[in-house]
Structure 1
Amino acid sequence: MLTILLYLIVMALVGGMIFLAASAVFGRSEELPPLQPGTTAAVLPAEGVTSADVDALRFQQVLRGYKASEVDWALHRLGMEIDSLRAQLEARSESAPEVVDADAEAVSERPDDV
């Protein structure tokens, strides 16, 4: 019985030393300061979102994934950008319908690559 207790104590000491060594190597207390309430680390430009902006987009991680409010905000911003681009495209097509029709005919005349 004393041998089992001695093994448990030695295992706890070795485990504690390994934990302390790993904490010294990997846990250097280089934590970022907390964000102010109501702010986010996710950043997108006000206009002209590019694929590089979306690739660089990062969200704060929480217990079960990403912070939902940041993801919702980013999706809302991207949706607004898509709506803006669609409105610009429709405005262009209304101002020059013959150009759009000529492009549509050129596309329909192309042979299939199948």
Structure 2
Amino acid sequence: MIWLALFVAVVVAVITAAAVLGRVDGSLADATTTMSHVPLPDDQLTPDDIDALRFDTAMRGYRMSQVDAVIDRLRREIGDLDDELSRARQAGRALGTTATSPGSSESSESPESPDDLGGTEAERA
């Protein structure tokens, strides 16, 4: 009888440990690679570059220097894209105001309606 109780206790302990470690429901994260951290490419980033990004793990998580470098790089690229977008919007506004200015060759007014031409349709035909 003591052997049965011991066996049940061991089985319960193993199942509990497996559940705590995530081995029961198959919800483990992707296995980490043994490869060293590969930094981001120097040219413009693509979504695939970000998806493929992996950091080395350290005692209490990821290596802070690697994560900080990537965050700094992303911050710079986002800032550059924001600046480029602002310049493009300003250029678009400048083109829009130039086209509608009084001295421009294109008129911003709509063409005359048939009622503004005067007379009846029969007289205009």
Query: What is the TM-score when the length of structure 1 is the normalising length?
Result: 0.48
More helix by share: 1
With a CA cutoff of 8 Å and minimum separation of 6, indicate the structure with the bigger relative contact order: 1
